[in-house]
Structure 1
């Protein structure tokens, strides 16, 4: 990779209506959405042949703003700015990178906070249960509208990795490569357990009001608590010792102040909970965590193993040594199943202490392997290997 030029990558939100009353989106559950909009952003330009497009899929509380800034003076760039931009692994001078907010999200795409056209008020819990497969089908409609018929690669971490794998199975002929990072083709029982505790924190907040809290502060305590637990699953014991240890806050005395915030790690969790409350919808948190629970490539396809036989893309599955939420045996299993089905797959492990968040915190550890993988895909497409 080349050193990234000193320039500001600018972006803007765009919107596409991917379902209409005349062309509704039929969900896995059988429910129907007759009006669906996806918010998306585009970085770089498609080649004349349209063969340089990469789809980035975001994680649970992410959005379309994967990189860059909306204005030169924006204080903070997109959530994966280390990965996407000029001269970076996903080089926007070379590739056209697209990222959309998922179906069910709350950052411009249709979700439970959107207005239900049948009632004129936000859906709330009237929004249908959605799956990762539903998200991917909506994304495919977006790419159709944008004229993108085939992708160089699909990449994502966590829930984004689930989407990437679903893409490889649902649309096996639409991409050359898939790069799932810290994810799996089905969620494991401990992950479902973590999600259920987080949802109960929201559902049992008196201010949840059956999901129709719009126009009020909403379940602030419940969502903040859910995020606090989520943040624990994103880190590791090793990273907690490194970042916080058993340090107490300046002036705090745990022996004297009872159950008030005393330790630095406690303060960090409360801070992260409040930050999420300020930018995320509690109902979307419920729906997207349930979509993670429901993730199973094998549903309706004979078996989990049989689903992997559909994958035509070359797979680079990346695990994280210290990942509590998606242990590395899950990524190794993906590689084994693809290979057993006659496909091409390789496993790469990030030697990072930062747990599940390592794909964000320590992206530099995988930047070069991803860059190399993408260049190999390009060579294959050009018939050079």
Structure 2
């Protein structure tokens, strides 16, 4: 069962605030006396703390050795979100929340738990965005980073893709600028359908790899993505999408190179070799700007989804090897 950490009135870097803010989180294992055996797993887009459970076992992240904290982003429906907020900021009135806001709140959570040093911050997709921010904001606290299929900033290309799925959702008249009384079903299904085309690689579709991950056909995949997103809250999706689009470690740090130069953590930068959101070329630039980093692409034909916890044994083994290496160092 997850727990809620009360932040009270949480000031955002924009100057707005979240009244009665909470962070939902779950822990596995026990914090040692030194407070330095913590592994932090920030959630990803549409994911929750539970999404990381395929990584939490003796063969990968062993809760007998590590104090593992899986934390939910603002906007994901469990932490403070448009669907779960004080009346003044509920639904369409929810303010913009940054990656930095999430990391500042997570830092408060870890301090309350007695964590003094983090052995590893690892995350997939938006979890990777948060990992980079952790390395920049709290460089002395973080020993190692494993950003998987993510980036230190949202690229223009990535932003344009996200604008496309935003437009698909908000074009549904029943969305009503976020003031809907019933879910904007057509918009949500369109959002999921558009998203599906970018989540995987060209090879994934061309070679029928979808059959290895539970889909009988392309039509089955599209129907499943539409149905899955139909169950989600539209304002929550857009709040997290806004956080994603605004991600940039350079903000208020004098530039991208300066920001990444702050990172002290040993880092394995792990883009998916076929990712359409976060290409290897962008990750290579980030690795070159980090003082102690290795670029290690996740070799896969799954596209962006290659980094999703538990997606397939071959990808999980590559991720596990990187985790074991970083935690041993």
Same fold (TM over 0.5): yes
Whose helix fraction is larger, Structure 1's or Structure 2's?
2
Describe how 1:210-225 pairs up with structure 2 within 5 A: 210-214=177-181, 216=182, 218-225=183-190
Match of 1:267 in 2: 220
Match of 1:80 in 2: 52
Deviation at 1:117, TM superposition (A): 4.2
Structure 2 counterpart SS, 1:363:
helix
Alpha-carbon distance in structure 1 between the residues aligned to 2:207 and 2:325: 31
Instruction: Flag structure 1 segments of 5+ consecutive residues without an equivalent.
Output: 1-11, 66-78, 246-262, 377-385
Contact 2:268–2:322 (CA<8 Å) still a contact in 1? no
Counterpart check, 1:355 vs 2:303: yes
Alpha-carbon distance in structure 1 between the residues aligned to 2:108 and 2:36: 18
Deviation at 1:285, TM superposition (A): 0.9
Larger-Rg structure: 1
Q: Deviations over 1:338-369 (max 9, x none)?
A: 1xxxx211111111111111112222222123
Alpha-carbon distance in structure 2 between the residues aligned to 1:132 and 1:165: 10
TM-score by length of 2: 0.92
Pair 308,46 (structure 1): closer, same or farther in 2 beyond 3 Å: same
Contact 2:43–2:123 (CA<8 Å) still a contact in 1? yes
Structure 2 counterpart SS, 1:350:
coil
TM-score by length of 1: 0.79
Deviation at 1:264, TM superposition (A): 2.7
Structure 2 counterpart SS, 1:196:
helix
Alpha-carbon distance in structure 1 between the residues aligned to 2:4 and 2:65: 24
Contact 1:316–1:346 (CA<8 Å) still a contact in 2? yes
Match of 1:383 in 2: none
Pair 171,244 (structure 1): closer, same or farther in 2 beyond 3 Å: closer
Match of 1:110 in 2: 80
Structure 2 counterpart SS, 1:56:
strand
Deviation at 1:28, TM superposition (A): 2.2
Instruction: Flag structure 2 segments of 5+ consecutive residues without an equivalent.
Output: 211-215
Match of 2:213 in 1: none
Match of 2:65 in 1: 94
Alpha-carbon distance in structure 1 between the residues aligned to 2:193 and 2:316: 23
Cα RMSD after superposing both structures: 1.8
Moved over 3 A (4+): none
Contact 1:244–1:264 (CA<8 Å) still a contact in 2? no
